[in-house]
Chain A
Amino acid sequence: MSQAYFQEISDWALTQIQGDEVLLASVAGEATDFIRFNNGAIRQAGSVTQQQLSLTLINGAKQTSGHVQLAADRALDDARVGRMLGQLRDQLQFVSDDPYIAYSTDTSVSADIVAGAVPDSSDVLGSIADASKGRDMVGIYAAGDSFGGFASSLGQRNWFQRSTFNLDWSFYLRDDKAAKNLYAGMDWSDDAFGLKVAESASHLGALDREPVVLKPGAYRSFLTPAAVGELMGLLSWDAFGLQAMETKQTSLLRMVTDGQTMADEVSISEHTGAGVAASFGEFGFARPDKVDLISGGRHSGTLVSARSSRQYGVETNGANTGEQPESLAIAAGSVPTAGVLAELGTGIYVGNLWYTNYSDRTACRTTGLTRFATFWVEGGEIVAPINVMRFDDTIYSLLGEQLVGLTDQSEMMLDAMSYERRSTSSMNMPGALVNEMKFTL
């Protein structure tokens, strides 16, 4: 769907309001090609076109919301939107005044479009097939436009559009021994893809060695940016939002109530300016370039949705309703990225973590497993892969008293998730060298 079409249909919808009603309209959608692989062959391939329009009808302090798929066909869409508006208007009589109602009264107009150079998906098949020859390749290629828009009857108009691709794949040797990689961006390059393939292939030799079986215990460990990102993905559920803070449900509760800290080197932010997500939230509020969440190891800020801003009297920073980050970043540190194996010395090189969750949420004690290219290292040299290990440790230990340092380079990782639609979230993470990481099983 184009910006012009969204403007057309939202303009029409906005003419349907009555009396003192206010209407907010937002759209989120995609036109995505996908190709799913297993054993280097194609398991499923196709295209998905979808665009969900969300309408919030407001009268005084009453509000109701509805969501409807648009067909990008005026005859169909006028009928769908008209029906939904009628339904919302009927519902307004049943709802009470909402003391936490909040919406932007801004009248700004913006368009943020980055077209990129995403190739025809059929053409990419050849490059992927070449890279997969003689290898057990499994994963997915997804590419196309992602877009979002906002319009209000008060005059605001925003549009956001990205054309991106991501190839999220693994080369498998056997059982659970594999090297995972992600090639994502806006401009496909066979050379850049080739480097990624070579990087994955280089891990296969070491993965082919007899695995080391470790006993539970504490080990010096290096967490790659992807592994740090998995930990931050867990914290993103509930750690950073104002509502979670106010209701004592944040997993960083001890930071807030007991003065618990992380290492001075740890600074975490929602860095919208460096990510690929929209710079406006679902109710039209602008997002600042950066919101500091942890600064110098101390709690320093929260993500504030429009609704929380009214309930708790704090200005919104355009966070989504769940107050979850979409462009989370950890500032780089001082451990030389090129020398992490030497810095690790003897210990575990954790390529990826998997299936993280809480062992004790209020203590920010987390658990999860090693996955993919995770190796035992001695004297700064990779010895062999390890069999899967479960860790159980607090973030205050991993990024606090046991943190040796963060790498001097961060890695930008586009989110390959596609629940409901392709994600526009990202993370910018350094690696982390940890003196002792506790493994339990």
Chain B
Amino acid sequence: MTMTQPSTIEMLEPRLRDALPSDVSYASIRLVDEAAEYLTVRQDQLEPLQTVTDTGVMVSIWDGGGLGYAATNNLSPEGLAAAVAKARHWAKATADRSILSEPPLSHPVGEYTSPVEVSWDSMSLADRIDLLQQQSRLLGGDNRIVDWEAGLVRRDVDTLLLTSGGGRVEQRFRFVYPNLRATANEGSNTQTRTFGSGAYCGQGGIEVLARFGFGDSASTVAAQAVELLDAPNCPTGTMDVLLAPDQMVLQIHESIGHPLELDRILGDERNYAGTTFVKPDMFGSYQYGSDLLNVTFDPTVSGQLASYGFDDDGSPATKEFLIKDGILVRPLGAAVSQERAGMDGVANARANSWNRPPIDRMANLNVEAGTSTEAELIASVERGVYFHTNNSWSIDDSRNKFQFGSEYGQLIEDGEITGTVRNPSYRGISATFWRNLKGVGNQESVIAMGTPTCGKGELNQSIGTGHASPACLFSNVAVFGGEA
């Protein structure tokens, strides 16, 4: 007979229930239990293996018109009681000074588990290291490659949300983040290619590696880094740009995702992450993009990086259109922001760990597929550049004037790819850029990726967001290259 070790949630739930106060307007305890492994082989040498365990709780109390938080990793009954007392203190101290005095939160019950086909643990540590060694050797084969590495990160994150009204949400996330990088150099010319700049990540087990072709990509990554050394600089001019899915990730994230966050619209982020050009009265009528543009908030996509069943305030996740046929229809705002703004939103209250309170975040923010094949998109371009893999990003605090760059560019002339260009960049203005969308790739070209680290909030929080997209074609874009 085999005895199974109880999970952290099983061990701690009774204690958390005992600590949860019942004499307040609303209280919750959110437990986060994380175990992670960071493996990197750089220049064929295993870097120090990193193992992380991180367990703690955030206590939230709404009472008397105030809201208080307290985060602690002391999970003894005494430690939890101290955290509850601190949260009560802050609720009292903020009474009559809070932006919102009554909790617009419910007491949900439910579960979510990442889809896992092949458990990470079915592959031994020795085999994981060996896989990275193989990839490293493929990356570093050319003498112009001066630095290279292959990496794998696995994070298991279990969460439990208990509320004072009987709510209970348990979620078990399994994340995998593969990585490849090759840097080539000649003189003062250095070029780097990566495996999607970290965007090829998702939920699942070992099968995530095959989903993105991890085992078959190292040679191409290295070859393209070397190829870029001899490539001419990207041309300058106004032309078409075709953005590959691993460039669209960034384009969606910065110039659709962040501008639509309702807490930005409400002003919460103005001191740090910024404001937005989007105003409440735009929803329902504003032409955000051409009629080819359809954008959804969808945490229900199986295996995408930011999929979940419930957000960190317990709101159930559903798919919602944010932009429909080019028209802006819904903001990225969770229950608290919805109440403040008097608008419908989505289930996107998210915290990056137990030690931060939830704020409005992107989850999976996806561009829906169109009808064009990649070949048809290329064939429709008279002169333009095909951008692959983001490597530079900058946008103003209203999320309008942007400049983005890619690792690898391909020149398109008269409907055909005619060569490779280095240091490709483009700049534009969000409010007009999306209206120049003139082609959207079909379902075959869609890749469901993610941004592992999106920074926002005060206190600062870094969290993963998902972005699925086909290749997309834009007209009349200012394109340029690097220095001579």
Chain A positions within 8 Å of B, measured between CB atoms, are 32, 34-36, 38-39, 41-52, 56, 63-73, 75-76, 80, 83-84, 87-88, 91, 94-96, 98-100, 122, 125, 129, 136, 138-140, 142, 168-170, 172, 175-176, 178, 180, 247-249, 253-254, 257-258, 354-363, 365, 367-369, 371, 388, 390, 392, 394, 417-419, 440-441
Give A213 to B194 CA distance when docked, in angstroms.
39
**Which residues of the other chain, A, contact B99 by a CB distance below 8 angstroms?**
38-39, 41-43
17 residue pairs A–B, Cβ–Cβ below 8 Å: A38-B266, A39-B267, A42-B94, A42-B98, A46-B69, A47-B86, A69-B53, A71-B75, A71-B79, A91-B51, A138-B271, A176-B396, A176-B397, A249-B147, A360-B483, A371-B397, A418-B458
- A69–B458 contact, CB under 8 A? no
- B52–A67 contact, CB under 8 A? yes
The 8 Å CB contact of A45, one of B93, B188, B267, B394, is B93
B67 near A: Cβ within 8 Å? yes
Least distance between B73 CB and chain A CB atoms (Å): 4
Least distance between B452 CB and chain A CB atoms (Å): 13
The 8 Å CB contact of B394, one of A69, A73, A100, A356, is A356
**Which residues of the other chain, A, contact B458 by a CB distance below 8 angstroms?**
34, 36, 139-140, 168, 418
Least distance between A438 CB and chain B CB atoms (Å): 12
15 extra A-B contacts, CB within 8 A, seeds A47-B90, A49-B73, A369-B394: A46-B68, A50-B355, A66-B51, A68-B54, A70-B73, A88-B51, A91-B51, A125-B93, A136-B267, A140-B458, A168-B458, A176-B274, A355-B396, A367-B392, A369-B401
**Which residues of the other chain, A, contact B72 by a CB distance below 8 angstroms?**
49-50, 71
Chain A residue with minimal CB distance to B187?
A: A257
- B97–A125 contact, CB under 8 A? yes
- B270–A138 contact, CB under 8 A? yes
Given contacts A44-B67, A49-B73, A357-B393, contact A365 B482 (CB under 8 A): yes
Least distance between A155 CB and chain B CB atoms (Å): 22
- B48–A367 contact, CB under 8 A? no
- A129–B97 contact, CB under 8 A? yes
Chain B positions within 8 Å of A, measured between CB atoms, are 45-46, 48-56, 66-76, 78-79, 86-87, 89-90, 93-94, 97-99, 124-126, 129, 146-147, 183, 185, 187-190, 192, 266-268, 270-272, 274-275, 355-357, 392-398, 400-401, 403, 405, 423, 425, 427, 429, 455, 458-462, 481-483
- B51–A65 contact, CB under 8 A? yes
Given contacts A38-B268, A64-B48, A98-B48, contact A49 B74 (CB under 8 A): yes
The 8 Å CB contact of B397, one of A68, A257, A362, A388, is A388
**Which residues of the other chain, A, contact B266 by a CB distance below 8 angstroms?**
38
- A363–B51 contact, CB under 8 A? no
- A71–B73 contact, CB under 8 A? yes
Given contacts A49-B72, A95-B46, A418-B459, contact A138 B97 (CB under 8 A): no
The 8 Å CB contact of B45, one of A36, A41, A80, A99, is A99
Give A141 to B416 CA distance when docked, in angstroms.
56
- A390–B71 contact, CB under 8 A? no
Chain A residue with minimal CB distance to B86?
A: A47
**Which residues of the other chain, B, contact A52 by a CB distance below 8 angstroms?**
54
Least distance between A253 CB and chain B CB atoms (Å): 5
- A46–B90 contact, CB under 8 A? yes
Give A91 to B37 CA distance when docked, in angstroms.
11
Nearest 8 interchain pairs by C-beta: A46-B69, A360-B482, A363-B483, A247-B147, A140-B458, A248-B185, A71-B74, A139-B271
**Which residues of the other chain, B, contact A63 by a CB distance below 8 angstroms?**
48
**Which residues of the other chain, A, contact B52 by a CB distance below 8 angstroms?**
66-68
Give A247 to B190 CA distance when docked, in angstroms.
9
Give A34 to B94 CA distance when docked, in angstroms.
12
- A419–B455 contact, CB under 8 A? yes
**Which residues of the other chain, A, contact B190 by a CB distance below 8 angstroms?**
248-249, 253, 361-362
Given contacts A138-B270, A180-B271, contact A66 B50 (CB under 8 A): yes
**Which residues of the other chain, B, contact A51 by a CB distance below 8 angstroms?**
73
**Which residues of the other chain, B, contact A95 by a CB distance below 8 angstroms?**
46, 49, 129
**Which residues of the other chain, A, contact B94 by a CB distance below 8 angstroms?**
35, 42, 45
Chain A residue with minimal CB distance to B427?
A: A441
**Which residues of the other chain, B, contact A87 by a CB distance below 8 angstroms?**
51
**Which residues of the other chain, A, contact B483 by a CB distance below 8 angstroms?**
360, 363, 365, 394
**Which residues of the other chain, A, contact B93 by a CB distance below 8 angstroms?**
45, 122, 125
Least distance between B474 CB and chain A CB atoms (Å): 16
**Which residues of the other chain, A, contact B189 by a CB distance below 8 angstroms?**
362
- A67–B271 contact, CB under 8 A? no
